[in-house]
Amino acid sequence: MTRLMLIAALLLVPMVASAQETHMPNKPLLIAHRGASGERPEHTLLSYELAIAQGADFIEPDLVPTKDGVLVARHENNITDTTDVAAHPEFATRKATKTIDGETMTGWFTEDFTLAELKTLRARERLPELRPGNTAYDGKAEIPTFDEIIALAKRASKATGRTIGIYPETKHPSYFASIGLPLEARLLAKLQEAGWDSADAPVFIQSFEVNNLIALKQRTKVRLIQLMDASGGPADKAEPSYAAMATPAGLRKVAAYAYGIGPARAMILPPSGTATSLVADAHAAGLRVHPWTFRAENVFLSPAYRTGAPAEHGRLAEEIRYFIGLGVDGFFTDFPHIGFEARAAAAPAPAQ
């Protein structure tokens, strides 16, 4: 899609959205997971632009710092699989082995590069075996800064007449604090510069850890989301497990500092196919629910919605509609256009 085609697509979305709002006043938020990452290399402006054109309400950057303290968007600070860094002989000696949140890994890490150095790299598709079509865009995009993503959201909001929000995740906050590169002050400073530091700003800040969200609660009015996985617990050990946090008592504790939760889909719909009470329990505690991540490939879908081989696409739209029927308040997806269509076709959830 050319830039001109993108602008045309962006301008068409509000008409569709307006019609949708007429039928679905309580529609859940459509959150583009790393952009339209099912169709473009994740965390690139190409991916975010396409997501906006496809109707996303929010674009999601995972934030990690550079050596000189600039926030950039990468799924992990280990950029071995998402950039062409291995093809740059000038950076061969930067390869390192590190232990991050208890996991030992070898590769190249953003905190060992200045922003100027990172800008010489180009993004690559992280899942080429599952998404071979995305490899056509390898080498076509830089690693974007948080500033560039904010600027894109503001430009797109002006172009479309609808508000495009951002949904940043603080990646490995305890680890980065331990090496002298804490994320939170940098994040809040950028949001303040953007004028997005109020409770009604088009922003959610999310984290799998607990203590940094509790600290952020004292420093910002921006809405906070506690992420939860189907196994394990927060890396900062603030709680024993995500399972404990997802109980009614645990959710009441989360509600003291967070606006909502971002649970793994399997915490709501386990492989058994019987939905849990998590959505209702979270709502009872006053929390919104934004599950992650809805992907079209069968290998990622809930068993009931798989059709064909693992890399083929199954019935993603049906899965999304099912979750909307359970009353979720938003959802993360790698395929915003499927999410947009599924939301438009879904029955509205009851007002909370």
What is the reported pLDDT for 351? 53
Beta bridge partners of 207: 226
9 has pLDDT over 70:
no
| Of the candidates 42, 83, 54, 89, the residue with the CA atom closest to the CA atom of residue 340 | 54
What is the reported pLDDT for 2? 43
Q: Which segment of 20-29, 187-196, 261-270 scores lowest on mean pLDDT?
A: 20-29
Q: What's the one-letter identity of residue 139?
A: G
Dihedral (C-alpha) 178, 182, 183, 185: value to the nearest 10 degrees? 160
Tokens of 197: 């530091």
What would the pLDDT profile of 220-248 be if each residue is shown by its tens digit?
999 999 999 999 999 999 999 999 999 99
Q: Please report, for the domain that includes residue 273, its CATH number.
A: 3.20.20.190
Residue at 48 is within a domain? yes
Residue at 328 is within a domain? yes
Residue at 53 is within a domain? yes
pTM: predicted TM-score of the whole model, two decimal places: 0.92
What would the pLDDT profile of 40-63 be if each residue is shown by its tens digit?
999 999 999 999 999 999 999 999
What is the reported pLDDT for 213? 98
Residues 73 and 67: their CA atoms lie apart, in Å, by 14
Residue at 121 is within a domain? no
Q: What's the one-letter identity of residue 285?
A: A
What is the reported pLDDT for 17? 37
Q: Roughly how many angstroms between the first and final C-alpha of the chain, as a whole number?
A: 39
CB 170 within 8 A of CB 206: yes
Share of the chain above pLDDT 70, in %: 91
**Helical axes 3-23 vs 146-160, angle rounded to 10°:** 70
3-state secondary structure of 146: helix
- DSSP-derived secondary structure for 248-284: HHHHHHHTTT-SEEEEBGGGTS-TTS---SHHHHHHH
25 has pLDDT over 70:
no
Residue at 267 is within a domain? yes
CB 294 within 8 A of CB 319: yes
What is the reported pLDDT for 349? 54
Q: Quick count: other Cβ atoms within 10 Å of Cβ 2?
A: 7
Tokens of 336: 């915003």
SS3 of 50-99: the string is HHHHCCCCEECCEEEECCCCCEEECCCCECCCCECHHHCHHHHHHCEEEE
What is the reported pLDDT for 15? 35
SS3 of 290-322: the string is CCECECCECCCCCHHHCCCCCCCECCHHHHHHH
Residues 209 and 224: their CA atoms lie apart, in Å, by 12
5 has pLDDT over 80:
no
Work out how many domains the chain is built from and give that number: 1
Domain of residue 50, residue span: 3-68+142-345
Contacts of 130 (CB under 8 A, 6+ apart): 297, 299, 311
**Cα-based angle 309, 33, 321 (whole degrees, multiple of 5):** 65
